A and B are shown apart, each in its own frame.
Chain A
Amino acid sequence: MTTTVNTTASATTTSTPPKGRSLWSDAGRRFRGNKLAVASVFVLAFIVILAAIAPLLTPWPYDMILNNEALFNPEYEAFNDANFPRAPDFVNSLWFGSGVNDRDLFYRSMIGVLISLAVGLTASLVALLIGVIYGSVSGYFGGRVDQIMMRIVDIIYALPFMFIVILLMVMFGRNFFLMFAAIGAVEWLTMARIVRGQTLSLKSREFVSAARASGVSSFNIIRRHIIPNLLGPVIVYVTLVVPQVILVESFLSFLGLGVQEPMTSLGVLISEGAKRLEDAPHTLLFPASILAIILFCLNFIGDGLRDALDPKDR
């Protein structure tokens, strides 16, 4: 086995021209070679753009209850019957029909997309920030500091975190900010472990020692050697955290503990749709498939980045 690796390795190294290729252009090339990941980028971009320009695509305000409006406003005559949720209706520009409360489902789904992504990105950035600082401090100082800091991480890690988050949401109301904080405060743990491990191993690597021995300043060592080597795993982890956070947000919203009316999120819409799946399955299918597609795309992109940035992991 070892010798197989040797043969193929020596074969590939000698077959490539001696011209150096940077880590990043190499990674970019590998990522572009991953068709699933590239397609996911396009699909995700399409959904995000659609969500961003949703107000232009529908005449109905996101919080307007169509049937209520019809009682007062003759313009909305079409919605006079109380027979909702309405099926998709292209004549009235109700692309996805109306939801359980007779609001425009398309607009609301798109708002759900934006909220999911906003929560996902913000909480991931919170996790990134805390995790990188905590992990690098722990790894850099090492020794007893490292031991204590990592023991704390171990303990928090073992907490049944979903229940703590729910407890938080119950106690302090369904506050948007709290949700970011609660989710971010949990997801940083893995990040801290990854960063710590990387810092520890980088600190003692030959190329760092070599740089130090040849008089490169600490700042330049960190800039040229530590950060580029840290960046790969960190980026990969962040892309894998985003869908996880989205899942948590929609989980809470599904239970009724997340985003509140008249705001909405995909989790809320799915929960509402699930109650009406017998007579109005579209109220479930639209938000559910959008959430599934977003999660698929993010996972494929994350996997693609991991393969591209960390080829030895394949």
Chain B
Amino acid sequence: MVRYFLSRLLIAIPTLLAVITLSFFLVRAAPGNPFDSEKPLPPTIRANLDAKYGLDKPVFEQFTNYVGGLVKFSKEEGSWLPTVTLDFGPSYQYKDRTVTYFIQAGFPVSLKLGLMAIAIALVIGVGAGSLAALRQNTWMDYTVMGFSMTGITVPNFVVGPILQLIVISILSATAVQLVPITGWGDSWKQAIMPVFVLALPQIAYIARQTRGSMIEVLRSNYIRTARAKGVPERTMIIRHALKAALLPIVSYLGPAVAAITTGSVVVEKIFRIPGIGTHFVNGALNRDYTMVMGVVIFFGALIIIANLIVDVLYGLLDPRVRAA
């Protein structure tokens, strides 16, 4: 188990370093100067700005400064746990704000959105998938599979606006507003649409995956053994089949976190939610290099850590890995 964890860590750390290095040098390799955006600046002002942001130093020194400044540990009086602060440097676009400020402001919103989406995807996906597997080749199975085919195929930037359109049409036809179609934080109802749209592809994947692995497990020899032992169908599914069927889902959670993080960028744009994704898109469109870089590194680290956690979880659940 320790070896397994270390081998996973051995992938996670270089990956994280690769993300940071890649983003940093991509940004530095970009043609032009970040402050050249509208009109060329007078040389003295440019030099001042370059000096202020450390851009006059050699690239390698800039890199070590950036990496060195990323994570800071500070210890407060009375607490024995150090406080970790992340510092992604100043925003090039909003000169009086730091990137960390935007990430701090957006993260709670994005996190809430993402966690709700994953939770819902798991509950509905596993439920629907198991149901389809147990009622294989019935209308229930076909409905679930048709739905999940749609969820996988149609991207959420199509589903989102179309659902908004449907809500608007119902509103204009019956004067009933089913759910709010934009905004965040004023009412819990505002979360319904974005969470659903964000979760949809994951519901679809998880349902499909669960169905597939459940069918495979139900055909396995040890399920036949359980049947031969006279284990009632319900107990058999819960005790003998579900765990094996859910293991692939656990390992899918890593990619799911990545997909949800990516999806949140689009969903926040569609539903005008003030999360990290919105800042990220604005940063990207305004060529706010530090902002884009900061968010890429932040999300990258998040995804890598999520993958690590999932790997450990998988190891804990599978006795064969646990023993290794």
Contact = CB atoms under 8 A, between A and B. Distances in A.
A163 B27 contact: no
A158 B158 CA distance: 27
Given A158-B307, A250-B155, A255 B300 contact: no
Interface of B is mostly: helix
Interface in B13-67: 14-15, 18-19, 22-23, 26-27, 29-31
B4 interface: no
B153 interface: yes
B85 interface: no
Given A160-B261, A255-B265, A274-B270, A167 B296 contact: yes
A251 to B, nearest CB: 7
B192 interface: no
Given A251-B266, A284-B161, A295-B153, A158 B304 contact: yes
Interface in B277-319: 280-281, 284-285, 287, 289, 292-293, 295-296, 299-300, 303-304, 307
A296 B303 CA distance: 29
Nearest to B172: A278
Contacts of B219: 1
Contacts of A167: 23, 26-27, 292-293, 296
A159 interface: yes
A164 interface: yes
A166 B292 contact: yes
A268 B193 CA distance: 22
B138 interface: no
Given A160-B258, A171-B27, A299-B153, A284 B165 contact: yes
B74 interface: no
Contact of A243 (B153, B262, B265): B153
A1 to B, nearest CB: 6
Given A163-B299, A172-B30, A270-B158, A158 B152 contact: no
Contact of B149 (A158, A166, A299): A299
Contacts of B164: 274, 277
Among B224, B262, B303, the most chain A Cβ lie within 10 Å of the Cβ of B262
Contacts of B161: 270, 273-274, 277, 284, 288
B11 A155 contact: yes
A267 interface: yes
A156 B12 CA distance: 11
B291 to A, nearest CB: 10
Interface in B75-99: none
Contacts of B289: 170-171
Given A274-B270, A278-B168, A284-B162, A160 B30 contact: no
Contacts of B304: 158, 160
A157 to B, nearest CB: 9
Contacts of A281: 165, 169
Interface in B139-197: 149, 152-155, 157-158, 160-162, 164-165, 168-169
Contact of B296 (A151, A160, A254, A295): A160
Contacts of A151: 11
B307 A166 contact: no
B269 interface: yes
Interface in A139-190: 151, 154-156, 158-160, 162-164, 166-172
B303 A160 contact: yes
A278 B29 CA distance: 43
A32 to B, nearest CB: 21
A141 to B, nearest CB: 22
Contacts of B30: 171-172
A156 B21 CA distance: 13
Interface string A180-208: 00000000000000000000000000000
A124 B65 CA distance: 39
B137 interface: no
A172 B155 CA distance: 26
B157 A251 contact: yes
Contacts of A257: 284-285
A292 interface: yes
B235 interface: no
List the 7 closest pairs (A to B, CB-CB), nearest first. Answer: A171-B30, A274-B161, A158-B15, A162-B262, A163-B296, A160-B300, A288-B158
13 contacts: A164-B19, A164-B22, A164-B26, A166-B292, A170-B287, A251-B155, A254-B157, A255-B265, A255-B269, A270-B158, A277-B165, A281-B165, A291-B158
Interface of B: 11-12, 14-15, 18-19, 22-23, 26-27, 29-31, 149, 152-155, 157-158, 160-162, 164-165, 168-169, 219, 221, 224, 258, 261-262, 265-266, 269-270, 280-281, 284-285, 287, 289, 292-293, 295-296, 299-300, 303-304, 307
Given A270-B157, A295-B154, 10 more contacts: A158-B304, A159-B15, A159-B18, A167-B27, A251-B155, A270-B158, A273-B161, A274-B161, A288-B158, A292-B154
Interface of A: 1, 151, 154-156, 158-160, 162-164, 166-172, 243, 247, 250-251, 254-257, 267, 270-271, 273-274, 277-278, 281, 284-285, 288, 291-292, 295-296, 299
